[in-house]
Amino acid sequence: MSALASLAPSIAQLRTIATPATDYRVMPFGVEAIDGRLGAGGLRAGALHEATARAGSLADDAATTLFIAGIAAREAAGTGGPVLWASCRCDLYAPGLAQVGLPSASVIHAQPRDDAALLAVVEDAIRDGTPAAIVAEASKVSMVATRRLQLVAAEADMPVLLLRRRRGLNEDPLAEPSAAWTRWRIGTASSERLNVAGVGRGRWLVELARQRGGEGFSLIVEGSDETGRLAVPAGLGHRAAETVGTARFAAA
């Protein structure tokens, strides 16, 4: 009996180690239609989040880039740190980022030679702890690599925002398995009709394909403003999500 009693503290300690912590910092969108559907009322700060363009069009690609930039901008404004933007391409449009609250002075650019080098740069930056958030553009990321990024992001309490580029026109990057906390598809939607000639505020079709501990959804929102914040179109209101329907794609 005494031997069994001596095992009790060890068993309790093992249970504590095996039980994952659920108390973590959250980055809300500030939009109830989104935050209310996310498990913690927003994005987990120390985590890997992925987004890809809904289609292979330049418009959807730009919307996805600005969606991620808005998240990074809000985190940078809240913490006062810079954003590391790592990409193997050199087509980033600085004025576009500034329009969603991410001016050039707040961005550190890195241009590795390939995706493998890019992931190494991102991991080193996370461990360094300087950036407020990290944005990485990559077309091929293995499940093992996403697990590593998720682990180091959680340890550093730093958001890692992975923009998954398409390798082919009809390829869906989110069909590949990933350890990301959330996975998003972003596309463009028709802007509001104006009473005068011109173009209204851009609208996006935002689809959460997967989240840990919750269900997917999709809705139409107005694109990020100068502070990186989204908005639900006034004409849609609380029915925004039902206008589009639920997520139609399964994600690993």
Burial class (CB in 10 A: 0-12, 13-18, 19+), 184: buried
User: Are the CB atoms for 43 and 156 separated by under 8 Å?
Assistant: no
Q: Is 23-244 in CATH node 2.40.160.40?
A: no
How far is the C-alpha of 205 from the C-alpha of 220, rounded, in Å? 5
- The pLDDT value recorded for residue 198 is 52
DSSP string, 151-169: HHHHHHT--EEEEE--SST
- Tell me the pLDDT tens digit for each residue of 89-110: 888 899 999 999 999 999 999 9
- Burial classification of residue 108, based on how many CB atoms lie within 10 Å of its CB (0-12 exposed, 13-18 middle, 19 or more buried): middle
Three-class secondary structure of residue 25 per DSSP: coil
Mean pLDDT of 59-76: 96
pLDDT at 39: 85
Position 238 scores a pLDDT of: 47
Is residue 167 over pLDDT 70? yes
Alpha-carbon span 49 to 240, nearest angstrom: 23
What is the model's pLDDT at position 140?
A: 87
Q: Would you list the domain boundaries of the chain?
A: 23-244
* pLDDT of 194 over the 70 cut: no
Q: Give the number of other CB atoms < 10 A from CB of residue 229.
A: 18
**What's the pLDDT at 171?**
82
Amino acid at 146: T
Q: Residue 172's pLDDT band (boundaries 50, 70, 90)? A: confident
Q: Is the pTM of this model over 0.75?
A: yes
pLDDT at 150: 96
CA distance 55 to 59: 9
pLDDT band at 157 (very low <50, low <70, confident <90, very high): very high
- Diameter of the chain measured on Cα atoms: 85
Q: What is the mean pLDDT of the chain?
A: 84
